Structure 1
Amino acid sequence: MHPYGAPSGAQRLVLAMDRDGPFCVWCSREFSDLVRPTREHVVPRVKGGPSIPENEVAACARCNRERGHASPVQWLDEVVARGRTPRPEVLEASLRRLADHIERHGGLRRIRGYLATELRKLDKR
């Protein structure tokens, strides 16, 4: 644990895999010695996404690296176009958890519009 009680990055990765299963959110590959899991920020940090469990899912290192700063729904469409099998239900659940977190705790004004837009895009799919 972090000295102030917040889970460390490694602990948040374990939490994400316990919550969502041991599969990449973007390609559905199961994690193993050859498919390394990483923490994926659903709302990218560069866009103001926080490093909290509500904004993190597990993704393989390849998908996380390739995504860069693409928006969640944009990258979802891209991985489908590349022939991968994403897990949109995990992505949507994360976005909704983050929206609920903001509703309950406030703050994160910078990402509220971004988050609402991504949820609208998912609802249209």
Structure 2
Amino acid sequence: MTARTGRRERLRSAVQRDGPRCVWCRRECTGLVRATTDHLVPKVKGGPSWLENEVVACARCNRERGHRSPTDWVAECERRGWRPDADAVARALRSLDRAIVERGGQRRARPYLAAQLRRVARAA
């Protein structure tokens, strides 16, 4: 994967990595349930369009999450009676942190990511 990999290829890679289920509600993304990639660190917060910053999400969850933080959305999903894959979210956040260290840049995303990693550590 390069930094210039297209959205379709990143979605395909995310499905291979995590499986075809929405990380938030765990619905299988086949047939009528359309798979999308959801940026854990939103682009408006400086999040890159890298595979490490994206998880598989159904279109409904991606749309409803909006710009809520991953930890806030996990809590909201649980409140709704869903079983979000909090471990996959935590793994992806840690993977993004490593990728930023290796590749550099992403100055705007770093504080947001650090706060999410702290919240994930407290929840564990």
Q: TM-score, normalised by structure 1?
A: 0.93
The CA deviation at 1:6 is 2.8
Offset from partner CA, 1:63-90 (integer Å, 9 cap, x none): 0000000011011111111111100111
Secondary structure in structure 2 of the residue aligned to 1:54: helix
- Match for residue 23 of structure 2? 25
Name segments (4+ residues, structure 1) moved above 4 Å: none
Question: In angstroms, what is the RMSD of aligned CA positions?
Answer: 1.5
Asked if residue 35 in structure 1 is aligned to residue 26 in structure 2, the reply is: no
Q: What is the CA–CA distance in structure 2 between the aligned matches of 1:38 and 1:105, rounded to whole Å?
A: 25
Please point out which of 117, 121, 124 is paired with 2:122: 124
Gaps of 5+ in 1: none
Secondary structure in structure 1 of the residue aligned to 2:108: helix
- Match for residue 108 of structure 1? 106
- Match for residue 97 of structure 1? 95
- Match for residue 76 of structure 1? 74
Which amino acid in 2 is paired with 1:76?
V
- Contact map agreement 2:38 2:56 (CA 8 A) in 1: yes
Cα 1:5/1:63, change in 2 over 3 Å: closer
Secondary structure in structure 2 of the residue aligned to 1:65: helix
Count of residues in Structure 1 that have an aligned counterpart in Structure 2: 123
- Contact map agreement 2:23 2:88 (CA 8 A) in 1: yes
Gaps of 5+ in 2: none
